[in-house]
Amino acid sequence: MGIAIYIIICLLVAPAGKGKRIGMFKTFLFSFLLTPIIGLYLALGSGRLNARGCNHCGNTENEAEFCGVCGKNEDGKSREELGIEL
């Protein structure tokens, strides 16, 4: 029972990493492994996804999660592959 509540808290903390360099998945992972308090702290301390460029096509001015030129994110996945609708 306790572990279920713990996972729910981790899931509630995960969105804090959305739009940040750390991302939702890693926020959840750190929350789960290192307690949600540390996960939240890492998510809030993580920089926003600004002008980090693109690893896949040489676009150096990309600010969005998905590259404006080739449409891939940091992991090389496109919106379609991740099932995100525009």
Give the binding site for Zn ion (CB under 5 A): 54, 56-57, 59, 67, 69-70
Q: Which is nearer to Zn ion, 12 or 81 (CB)?
A: 81
The C-alpha atoms of residue 59 and residue 26 are separated, in whole angstroms, by 25
Q: Which is nearer to Zn ion, 28 or 66 (CB)?
A: 66
Burial class (CB in 10 A: 0-12, 13-18, 19+), 47: exposed
Residue 39 near residue 20 (C-beta atoms within 8 A)? no
Query: Nearest approach, Cβ of 57 to Zn ion (angstroms)?
Result: 3
Query: Nearest approach, Cβ of 24 to Zn ion (angstroms)?
Result: 21
